[in-house]
Chain A
């Protein structure tokens, strides 16, 4: 069941088209990665999805209801966290969470505040003003704020940026737990591709305001068909000469030589090395990842609107 449906969404700033006619859906309990290079239109899209930016055209529907017609009812059931805004800097963490909790319909406000403070480990920060917190602590408070109203849909714009690795891991586990227990649907932007591969069921890649692809992280990575073989050869020149003769693409860094091959060519290539007595001490085979896809797609290497 779709909890969020976006139809033909467009945003123009004067002549500049920031988001160009995009359509997609978010299913109940799904974690959808929203990726793209800087300036691709991710944040603009998210702002439209939470009603803080008016689209030029298009429709946004949550739970089968139009965001423009049922704004208050919908916003009471969703939430948003972004690294691009901060909470009031001269209010304490507790004051911020308290006043924001009153913006939502929460049945047992005090209990929920206590739960959120515990989940996000904010006990020691409650009396500190937001302005005095580190970047990572501010991110934690922002995230805590976004879970206050038991959201059914959560829009997270780079939620783990500036978090320590252990806290980021804790947060990812928490998000997965929330999805499992409450079927929370999450739209998630991040520049950390490993993180996206780890937690997202599906990824939408956006560039130049348009959706370039919409698939699972594994399928997107498979679109990069070149595998990298990194070798530490006994005689690097012997290996690079061999690559030149066989027209294999390679790069060389100090003692290592990295050769790009299609996956099915690898056994034959390794056999040829043995036949030509090209010896090596180390070998690592790196399959394509989402990051490889991201890098290629960011340079305009794909154009396959789905």
Chain B
């Protein structure tokens, strides 16, 4: 892999980000709105039930952490979609860009923007509610990494579908991660889900992260099996999604990149 080619695609999406109000609002506006609505809601509940202050941290932490997979997935998927909209796949693949360099760039763009969005959301949470997500301490790092991986494989899975069926299925870019949200135990434990939903939740690496997060807040300890199961599932799904994306790209080459939109 050549770093300058990875940088080229990174640069292309950063230039696009700077010039797109849609993308800027996705990065900053929606996390802020979520924090205001859910933060105020949890504030209200805390005021009704004293001695439940940690609920506030769990909810705000959930909101902020959810920004990570959402942004990571969104950046991968929408950046693939942008290439389809702009008919730019031909331009980048008549250059010596490798598929592996392309997906590395997409991951790095997703990582950079997820970190920017999370830092912004963390700042907003601190300013509005005096909630500090760094209270998670050292556990923050594995949680961040696992949620990033979750966003990446969902992103590549959707990108594989987009590459196969084109922009007529583009709505998946905005909806798929959110479809996983009810099963990811962001604000509530997996145990309160119906049995069938618990099965889905157990298959999602994100549910282990949020379960683990609540354990850290309420019990000041972490069952590391949450981390290992989540890591195993993420590696498995990430491998499958990249293989699927690669296959869809090969199929697209058989139809011609110039005609994909």
Binding site for B on A (CB under 8 A): 13, 43-44, 47, 50-54, 71-76, 79-80, 82, 84-92, 95, 98-105, 129, 145
B229 at the interface (CB under 8 A from A): no
B11-A102 in contact (CB<8A): yes
- How far does the Cβ of A71 sit from chain B's closest Cβ, in whole Å? 7
B12-A88 in contact (CB<8A): yes
- Measured CB to CB, the nearest residue on chain B to A94 is B15
B258-A88 in contact (CB<8A): no
CB-CB under 8 A for A87 and B96, given A52-B258, A99-B15: no
CB-CB under 8 A for A91 and B87, given A54-B254, A75-B94: no
B90 at the interface (CB under 8 A from A): yes
CB-CB under 8 A for A95 and B258, given A103-B5, A145-B91: no
CB-CB under 8 A for A99 and B96, given A53-B258, A105-B4: no
Main DSSP-derived SS at the B contact region: helix
- How far does the Cβ of B5 sit from chain A's closest Cβ, in whole Å? 6
B142 at the interface (CB under 8 A from A): no
A95-B15 in contact (CB<8A): yes
CA distance A85 to B172 in the complex (A): 25
Some 23 contacts from A to B, beta carbons below 8 A apart, are A47-B256, A50-B94, A52-B89, A53-B253, A53-B257, A54-B254, A72-B98, A75-B95, A80-B90, A84-B258, A87-B88, A88-B82, A88-B88, A89-B86, A91-B15, A99-B11, A100-B95, A101-B8, A102-B8, A103-B4, A103-B95, A103-B97, A104-B95
CB-CB under 8 A for A90 and B20, given A71-B96, A103-B95: yes
CA distance A88 to B13 in the complex (A): 10
- How far does the Cβ of B78 sit from chain A's closest Cβ, in whole Å? 14
Chain A residues closer than 8 Å to B9, beta-carbon distance:
99
A86-B87 in contact (CB<8A): yes
A103-B256 in contact (CB<8A): no
CB-CB under 8 A for A82 and B90, given A47-B258, A75-B95: yes
CB-CB under 8 A for A52 and B94, given A47-B258, A85-B258, A129-B19: yes
Chain B residues closer than 8 Å to A52, beta-carbon distance:
89-90, 93-94, 253, 256-258
| Contacts beyond the supplied A50-B94, A85-B87, A90-B16: 14 A-B pairs with Cβ under 8 Å | A13-B255, A52-B253, A52-B258, A53-B254, A76-B96, A85-B90, A88-B86, A90-B20, A95-B15, A99-B11, A102-B8, A103-B8, A103-B97, A105-B2
B7 at the interface (CB under 8 A from A): yes
CA distance A170 to B13 in the complex (A): 34
Interface flags, B1-42, vs A, CB<8A=1, else 0: 010110111011001100110000000000000000000000
- Measured CB to CB, the nearest residue on chain A to B88 is A88
B94-A98 in contact (CB<8A): no
CA distance A100 to B2 in the complex (A): 14
CA distance A99 to B7 in the complex (A): 8
B91-A100 in contact (CB<8A): yes
Chain A residues closer than 8 Å to B93, beta-carbon distance:
51-52
B92 at the interface (CB under 8 A from A): yes
Which residues in window 203-261 of B have CB below 8 A to A? 250, 253-258
- How far does the Cβ of A286 sit from chain B's closest Cβ, in whole Å? 38
Interface flags, B91-108, vs A, CB<8A=1, else 0: 111111110000000000
B88-A99 in contact (CB<8A): no
CB-CB under 8 A for A44 and B95, given A91-B16, A99-B15, A102-B5: no
- How far does the Cβ of B38 sit from chain A's closest Cβ, in whole Å? 33
A104-B96 in contact (CB<8A): yes
Q: Give the contacting residue for A51; candidates B8, B91, B94; CB below 8 A.
A: B94
CA distance A90 to B22 in the complex (A): 12
CA distance A101 to B7 in the complex (A): 11
- How far does the Cβ of B63 sit from chain A's closest Cβ, in whole Å? 30
Among B2, B19, B91, B250, the most chain A Cβ lie within 10 Å of the Cβ of: B91
CA distance A107 to B82 in the complex (A): 30
- Measured CB to CB, the nearest residue on chain B to A145 is B91
Chain A residues closer than 8 Å to B5, beta-carbon distance:
102-103
